[in-house]
């Protein structure tokens, strides 16, 4: 249920509502809108009829049932689109299309700093880089772990770009939170519910990547795990799904962007690198993503893709990334959006 409070509700009336929600065995999730406050009563408490009766309280405007199985992620709870603040001058959502770029894996200090400088110069406003890598083969490069995180921190110190890096294990959350600005949940972990529950307890934005075989409803239910734990800073990322097609690494489902915008207030970004698996396809699909309303892009960029330890074939060289950003500007303008300024 959503309890919509009246404009100008007093603190005493607000407390009366939240106390009653808790007394009935529900969790009270407060959502501040632009004009008024709503409270989501979530959980399996002692009956919705008692919640409905809260319309009689002096501070309550009305009580509305949430029809979707994903409660806190739905537009029913929060009709205004969420904007996730990453740093003082970087956010995901709103008029500006966020651009996250960098190599698949942190390989050395020289590589990550060269990458960070290049993507910033071309207009990216966040840096991606994997320190812990989920690999299909146990014999493949697994990442530099904390050493990689330290190198990412050094790159942020030099360029000022906020850091995005992947989290695999709930036991690593505190370590990664020491270094990263955004935690990324990869496609393989979208239904790692133990991890999602722990991420609900942290005060860091989380990029949640769609799984290879995940429906949109399952995608939003995974986001619900994080939000219901108390962390509403969730960004959804389409990165391609597995189909019968073999010409590309995955099938980039751009239709999911407008569908998600119709169902959730959460920002939606697109990863055309994993979505296609080949650098030649990244720019056209990035432009298409902006055209259909993506709030941001996540692109793999490597100064020397032919020597990359992972995903070299889908990584843009810095000069190709710069060309992509030039192409994107026209699509962003047509969509009524802007891109980060290059520096």
* Model confidence pLDDT, tens digit, residues 82-129: 999 999 999 999 999 999 999 999 999 999 999 999 999 999 999 999
Percent of the chain with pLDDT over 90: 78
Confidence of residue 141 (pLDDT cuts 50, 70, 90): low
Tens digit of each residue's pLDDT (9 = 90 or more) over 286-307: 999 999 999 999 999 999 999 9
CA distance 17 to 19: 6
Give the pLDDT score at 132: 87
Confidence of residue 32 (pLDDT cuts 50, 70, 90): confident
Calculate the average pLDDT of the chain.
Answer: 93
Give the pLDDT score at 155: 97
Give the pLDDT score at 42: 83
Residue 104: what are its φ and ψ, rounded to 5°?
-60, -50
Residue 18: what are its φ and ψ, rounded to 5°?
-65, -40
In which order are the strands placed within the sheet that holds 2-5? Answer: 27-32, 37-42, 2-5, 60-64
Q: Find the mean pLDDT for residues 267-283.
A: 98
Question: Among candidates 185, 31, 159, which has minimal Cα distance to 90?
Answer: 159
Q: Answer yes or no: pTM beyond 0.85.
A: yes
Structure tokens at 148: 């990689």
Domains delineated in the chain? 2-64 (3.30.70.1140), 84-334 (3.20.20.70)
Query: Pick the residue with more confidence: 76 or 149?
Result: 149
- In whole angstroms, how far apart are CA 112 and each of 9, 77, 144, 163, 273? 51, 40, 12, 11, 18
Confidence of residue 142 (pLDDT cuts 50, 70, 90): low
Q: Find the mean pLDDT for residues 53-78.
A: 90
Question: Among candidates 220, 207, 306, which has minimal Cα distance to 262?
Answer: 220
Tens digit of each residue's pLDDT (9 = 90 or more) over 166-207: 999 999 999 999 999 999 999 999 999 999 999 999 999 999
| Number of neighbouring beta carbons within 10 Å of residue 318 | 19
Confidence of residue 47 (pLDDT cuts 50, 70, 90): confident
Is residue 138 pLDDT above 80, yes or no? Answer: no
Confidence of residue 37 (pLDDT cuts 50, 70, 90): confident
Give the pLDDT score at 140: 64
Tens digit of each residue's pLDDT (9 = 90 or more) over 177-187: 999 999 999 99
Is residue 334 pLDDT above 80, yes or no? Answer: yes
Is residue 135 pLDDT above 80, yes or no? Answer: no
Tens digit of each residue's pLDDT (9 = 90 or more) over 211-260: 999 999 999 999 999 999 999 999 999 999 999 999 999 999 999 999 99
Q: Find the mean pLDDT for residues 11-37.
A: 87
Give the pLDDT score at 168: 94
CA distance 112 to 99: 17
Is residue 139 pLDDT above 70, yes or no? Answer: no
Query: Pick the residue with more confidence: 34 or 278?
Result: 278
């Amino acid at each position: 249920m959503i309890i919509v409070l009246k404009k100008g509700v007093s603190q005493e009336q607000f407390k009366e509502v939240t106390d009653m929600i808790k007394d009935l065995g529900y969790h009270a999730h407060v959502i501040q809108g632009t004009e008024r406050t709503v409270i989501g009563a979530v959980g399996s408490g002692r009956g919705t009829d008692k919640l409905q009766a809260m319309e009689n309280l002096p501070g309550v405007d009305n009580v509305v049932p949430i029809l979707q199985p994903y409660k806190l992620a739905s537009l029913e709870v929060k009709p205004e689109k969420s904007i996730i603040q990453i740093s003082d001058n970087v956010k995901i959502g709103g008029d500006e299309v966020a651009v996250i770029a960098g190599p698949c894996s942190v390989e050395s200090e020289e590589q990550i700093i060269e990458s960070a400088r290049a993507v910033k110069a071309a207009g990216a406003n966040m840096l991606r880089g994997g320190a812990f890598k989920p690999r299909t083969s146990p014999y493949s490069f697994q990442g530099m772990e904390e050493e990689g995180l330290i190198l990412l921190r050094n790159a942020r110190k030099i360029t000022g770009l906020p850091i995005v890096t992947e989290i695999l294990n709930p036991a690593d959350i505190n370590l990664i939170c020491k270094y990263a600005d955004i935690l990324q949940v990869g496609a393989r972990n979208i239904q790692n519910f133990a991890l999602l529950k722990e991420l609900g307890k942290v005060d860091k934005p989380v990029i949640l990547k769609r799984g290879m075989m995940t429906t949109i409803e399952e995608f939003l239910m995974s986001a619900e795990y994080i939000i219901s734990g108390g962390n509403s800073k969730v960004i959804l990322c389409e990165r391609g799904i597995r189909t019968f097609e073999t010409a590309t690494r995955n099938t980039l489902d751009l239709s999911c962007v407008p569908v998600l915008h119709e169902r959730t207030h959460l920002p939606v970004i697109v990863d055309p690198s994993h979505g296609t698996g080949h650098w030649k396809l990244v720019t056209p699909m990035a432009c298409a993503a902006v055209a259909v309303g993506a709030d941001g892009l996540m692109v793999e960029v490597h100064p020397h893709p032919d020597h990359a330890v992972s995903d070299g074939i889908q990584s843009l060289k810095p000069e190709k990334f710069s060309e992509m950003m030039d192409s994107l500007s026209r699509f962003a303008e047509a969509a009524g959006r802007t891109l980060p300024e290059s520096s």
